Homo-oligomer: A and B are copies of this chain.
């Protein structure tokens, strides 16, 4: 399976063009778009989401990860192998948390070159063809040379910030549930929030935090929108009182 993890938007032609390239190059491999609406141009929140969501896919999955504000600059282009999964994308921190948490990993600078490379859409011209080759069984060694990813030493292991807001207004953080005790309180948007197991455990309209289905701490309002009621946006900081 090839999984798309991008900030292209659910609109527009970009996901469709990527999918067409992948289906033409690796016709037997299903393509699934996991995220098309990552926070635009921000590799940092995306790095925490990728680490939380990728764990959930089988070994052998190839992720094409594109949050690439530096396209056209000289930032590198990577293949990452971590705990049996493969990742392809720009060298801008997107793989930092996956790499840090992996029990074993290797990284390659992509050396393969497409017949034509546009200045602004390396997803279609470089990363999708490389992902299709990996999905068809070509080795990373045949496509690049081993290297290290550019490190992001200032990024914490768990990020006390909002990294994504979903359709219901629930606000995901970059904190793993295992990093907090259930008795911990969070402060977000000027409110102090206690833990609950589920939405139905709190009264209608009450704000709370819980560990979501991918293991991340999420802030929600039962039958309401946490983003509006607590004025939360991607990048907003969270305080933890444990």
Contacts and interface: CB of A to CB of B under 8 A. Distances in A.
Interface of A: 1, 3, 7-14, 16-17, 19-20, 23-24, 27, 30, 32-37, 40-41, 49, 53, 56-58, 69-73, 118-121, 124-125, 164, 166-168, 197-201, 210, 212-214, 223
Nearest to A27: B30
Nearest to A225: B40
A228 to B, nearest CB: 13
Contacts of A56: 17
The listed residue with most B CB atoms (<10 A of its CB), out of A7, A32, A33, A118, is: A32
Nearest to A18: B32
A11 B34 contact: no
A82 to B, nearest CB: 18
Contacts of A19: 32
Given A40-B168, A72-B198, A118-B213, A10 B10 contact: yes
A75 B166 CA distance: 24
Contacts of A166: 9, 11-12, 14
B213 A125 contact: yes
Contacts of A197: 72, 119
A212 B120 CA distance: 7
A119 B198 contact: yes
Contacts of A223: 41, 69
Instruction: Rank and list the top 9 A-B pairs by shortest CB-CB distance, nearest first.
Output: A9-B167, A72-B198, A121-B213, A118-B213, A73-B200, A16-B34, A11-B37, A119-B198, A12-B166
A182 to B, nearest CB: 13
Contacts of A125: 213
Given A23-B1, A34-B20, A11 B167 contact: yes
A24 B58 CA distance: 9
Given A1-B23, A13-B35, A120-B213, 12 more contacts: A11-B36, A12-B37, A12-B167, A13-B49, A13-B214, A14-B166, A17-B34, A17-B53, A23-B30, A23-B32, A73-B200, A119-B197
Contacts of A201: 72
